[in-house]
């Protein structure tokens, strides 16, 4: 796959759209700073972009640990339900 098409793959499309929204809302808000709605949308898009970049640069080992912790929580929850019955 060519590097130019990589942002449009299903894995990266949400990050690409959030980044484009951040740039778009930032330019629109800079053009008319009186509209506070553009500032709010810019802030939301910026947070989504930051979360996406954090996930992109996160090591895969950490992702596996998070999944294991969630699975452990589900197992403990099921055991507690059985214990309360």
Dump pLDDT digits (tens) for 7-60.
777 778 888 899 999 999 999 999 998 989 999 999 999 999 998 888 888 766
Q: How many CB atoms lie within 10 A of CB 19?
A: 18
Q: How many whole angstroms separate alpha carbon 61 and alpha carbon 59? A: 5
pLDDT at 14: 86
**Do 49 and 17 contact (CB within 8 A), yes or no?**
no
Quick one: the chain helix, strand, coil %, rounded to 5? 80, 0, 20
Most confident region among 2-6, 43-47, 62-66 by mean pLDDT: 43-47
Structure tokens given for 1: 């796959």
User: Where does the pLDDT of residue 73 fall: very low under 50, low under 70, confident under 90, or very high at 90 and above?
Assistant: low
pLDDT at 68: 57
pLDDT at 58: 76
Model-level pTM? 0.64
């Amino acid at each position: 796959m060519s590097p130019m098409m990589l942002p449009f793959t299903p894995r990266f499309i949400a990050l690409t759209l959030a980044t484009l929204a951040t740039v778009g809302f930032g330019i629109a808000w800079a053009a008319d700073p009186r509209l506070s709605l553009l500032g709010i949308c810019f802030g939301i898009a910026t947070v989504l972009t930051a979360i996406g970049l954090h996930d992109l640069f996160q090591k895969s080992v950490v992702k596996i640990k998070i999944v294991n912790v969630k699975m452990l929580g589900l197992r403990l929850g099921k055991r507690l339900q059985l214990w309360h019955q």
